[in-house]
Amino acid sequence: MDVICAGKRSITLKINGRERSLEVRPNEILLNMLRERFNLMGSKYGCGIGECGACTVLLNGRAVLSCQILAISVAGQEITTIEGISRGASHSSHAGTAPAGTLHPAGTLHPAGTLHPLQAAFIEEGAVQCGFCTPGMIISAKALLDKNPDPNNEQIKEAIRGNMCRCTGYTNIISAVKSAAKRMLKE
């Protein structure tokens, strides 16, 4: 039988297309790992208990709440955060290497990078106010469009049901998803 892991365990997983290895504690939450260990600050900490959707990431292509998942459970799997969906984004973060307090290039766009159509549409449609829910919204919308490139309003509402926005009132968010879908269908 495999030894029960009491202290840290080293895991390897893919984050935004890059293989990463690190040591995690048994109860380390995926969201905290992404933010604190990889400086991927796009995924937000809203409630920490599954209610708000601000921490949404893709796990093997499915939208999930990273505050509800242990880092150790996703060993060997593939995570995509908001930083990983813009085209040509650099995802240049290094586990554990960022000295505390320094600015880190993680999540910043590569000079040659372009926004994902969802990101562009969110800006154009005024679907972002404070922006706290936006990464999660976009990830949920991406999971939807990957499966269903031409969703109707009901399907969009359903897809973002777990993502709360306290600012925009959802109308612009739904328009943004529709407009991104249109754009992506044309491409």
Encoded one letter per residue, x for contact with ligand FES by CB under 6 A and - for no contact, window 95-134 reads ---------------------------------xxxxxxx
Please tell me the distance from the alpha carbon of residue 132 to that of residue 148, in angstroms, as a whole number.
Answer: 25
What does 166 interact with, of another protein, ligand FAD, ligand FES, none (CB < 5 to 8 A by kind)?
ligand FES
Helix (H, G, I), strand (E, B) or coil at 160: coil
Question: Among residue numbers 52 through 91, which ones bind ligand FES (CB under 6 A)?
Answer: 52-55, 65, 67
Tell me which residues touch another protein (CB under 8 A). Answer: 1-2, 4-6, 9, 25-27, 29, 48-53, 56, 59, 62-65, 67-70, 72-73, 140, 143, 158-159, 161-164
Torsion sign across C-alpha atoms 70, 57, 42, 110: positive
**Cβ pair 82, 43 in contact under 8 A:** yes
What is the torsional sign of CA 136, 138, 142, 145? positive
Q: Is 80 helix (H, G, I), strand (E, B) or coil?
A: strand
Closer CB to ligand FAD, 50 or 169, in the complex: 50
d(CA 148, CA 80): 19
Which residues make up the interface to ligand FES (CB under 6 A)? 45-48, 50-55, 65, 67, 128-134, 165-168
